[in-house]
Amino acid sequence: MTTLIRILAIVGAASLLGAGHLLTRSTAIVLRVDMQPVPADAVTDLPGEPALAQPEPLEPIEPVEDAGGDAPPAADPTAAGEGNTERAAPAISTGVRKIGLAEAATLYNEGVAFIDARTEREFAAGRIYGAYWMPAQRVFTEAGQNDLDFVDPSLPVVVYCTGGECDASENTIARIRAAGYDWPDIRIMQPGYDDWLAAGLPVETGSPGEGDQP
Amino acid sequence: MSARHGCGGEPDRGWGESSLLVLPRIALGGVLLLAGWMKLFHNAWNGADPAWDFANTIKAYDILPAGGNADALVVFAAYAVPWSELLLGLALVLGVWSRAAGWLSAVMLAAFTIINISVVARGMDLTCSCFGEIEWPCSGGISWCHVGRNAALMLVAGLIAWRGGGRVALGWLLGDRSSGAGRQGWADEE
């Protein structure tokens, strides 16, 4: 009987610790509605969207001076995006649609905010220049929401991860919405960071807040 | 090895077997500690929320009722399972309540194995989240590799449940003889 009693004791202790740990959370857990990852052959281009393999040439974008805060030094969407608020941004009914590299590059040059949904290690190893680091787990943190407050909701927002079957972008978007950010035009850059890098588009490396463009 | 007999009449293999049991017991305990830690605390101080990841993984397995209030069960499991792993890992590494920890680990790993088989059989493309970001020795979505790994760990847990944790253990030092090597299951225990 000793072993049985001990097993029950371990189960009970784990349940109590788990429940106690859960109660210490400052925010409720909001689970994703759809956990199925995006298939590799998912639709990446909507009618009229430029082909992925032919990104438009970019004008080099000058680095933004570090404001001195903890927030990732994103390209300032409000400053660079002036004049674009009237631009039509067709979105599907969910408010999220997948875009290709060419459209993402165009939006980048127009100064919209890019959100990197990958892990900190991946983000530090290389990211789209000026992107915010925002894996899903960071959305409900104070630092994460400080960064999200910088995003101009009147402009499109582009979220990306590694591309292909990665579903981190959808995780982040689900959490952003759960956190109350009612952005009307969120787009997922389906090709992912590696394709952006391979296309020779602006990138930077370093830990969040320590970016330096190669 | 000694030829003494345990209180249940079975041969007590003593220090020889005990020394052989140390390695699998501590190895399994370490694996469970790592698994629990990665699910609950990895990078938590950097704003990560590994428990949320694990909760979504559990939900994606589609084995527990989910949606609406039922999500509470999924969320609770996302905390209770890793805490179970931490407690079991601690018990096995220290050698305290080894036989109970072995039984419970074996049952838990058997459940994980069945779940993984179910995921593979249903053709689902899901990540394991077994060790957070660590994917060794199996990478990518849940596959037969994950099934094999869990089954191997289950066998180790079964060994400890069967043979106990041995004498090279804190429990033995503290006078607990119910988990010593050579004892044969429930009947030997007081």
Q: Which of B40, B66, B100 sits opposite A7 (nearest CB)?
A: B100
Q: Which of B51, B53, B190 sits opposite A2 (nearest CB)?
A: B190
Interface touch A10/B56, C-beta < 8 Å = no
Interface touch A1/B189, C-beta < 8 Å = yes
Interface touch A32/B103, C-beta < 8 Å = no
For residue B46, the model assigns a pLDDT of 65
Interface touch B100/A19, C-beta < 8 Å = no
pTM of the model: 0.56
Q: Which of B43, B60, B87 sits opposite A14 (nearest CB)?
A: B87
DSSP states along chain A: -HHHHHHHHHHHHHHHHHHHHHHT-SS-----S--PPPPTTS----TTPPPTTSPPP----PPPPP-SSSS-----HHHHTTT-TTS-----TTSEEEE-HHHHHHHHHTT-EEEE-S-HHHHHH-EETT-EE--GGGTTSHHHHHHHTTS-TTS-EEEE-SSTT--HHHHHHHHHHHTT---S-EEEETT-HHHHHHTT--EEBSSTT--B--
Provide the residue count of chain B. Answer: 190
Query: CA-CA distance, A100 to B52, in Å (whole number)?
Result: 29
Which chain B residues are closer than 8 Å to A22 by Cβ?
Answer: 75-76, 79
For residue A30, the model assigns a pLDDT of 62
For residue A46, the model assigns a pLDDT of 30
Which chain B residues are closer than 8 Å to A4 by Cβ?
Answer: 100, 186
Asked which of A2-6, A80-84, A132-136 is least confident by mean pLDDT, the reply is A80-84
Residue that is written with structure tokens 């289950």 in the block: B154
Number of CB atoms found within 10 A of residue B61's CB: 20
Number of CB atoms found within 10 A of residue B158's CB: 17
The alpha carbon torsion through B14, B20, B26, B29 (nearest 10 deg) reads: -80
Which chain B residues are closer than 8 Å to A148 by Cβ?
Answer: none
For residue A97, the model assigns a pLDDT of 83
Q: Taking 80 as the threshold, does the pLDDT of residue A175 lie above it?
A: yes
Token output for A206 = 């370093």
Which chain A residues are closer than 8 Å to B178 by Cβ?
Answer: 2-3
Among A12-21, B49-58, B164-173, name the most confident range.
Answer: A12-21
- Please give the mean pLDDT across all residues of chain A: 70
Asked which of A167-171, A193-197, B124-128, B146-150 is least confident by mean pLDDT, the reply is B124-128
Token output for A23 = 């109660």
pLDDT above 90 coverage of chain B, percent: 40
Q: Taking 50 as the threshold, does the pLDDT of residue A123 lie above it?
A: yes
Distance from CA of A206 to the nearest CA of B (A): 15
Interface touch A18/B80, C-beta < 8 Å = yes
Query: CA-CA distance, B123 to A128, in Å (whole number)?
Result: 34
Query: CA-CA distance, B93 to B26, in Å (whole number)?
Result: 5
Q: Which of B48, B52, B60 sits opposite A35 (nearest CB)?
A: B60
Encode pLDDT of B107-150 as tens digits. 999 999 999 999 899 888 777 878 876 777 887 788 899 999 99
| Chain A residues interacting with chain B (CB cutoff of 8 angstroms) | 1-4, 6-7, 9-11, 13-15, 17-19, 21-22, 29, 31-32, 35-37, 119-120, 135-138, 140-141, 143-144, 165, 171
Q: Taking 80 as the threshold, does the pLDDT of residue B95 lie above it?
A: yes
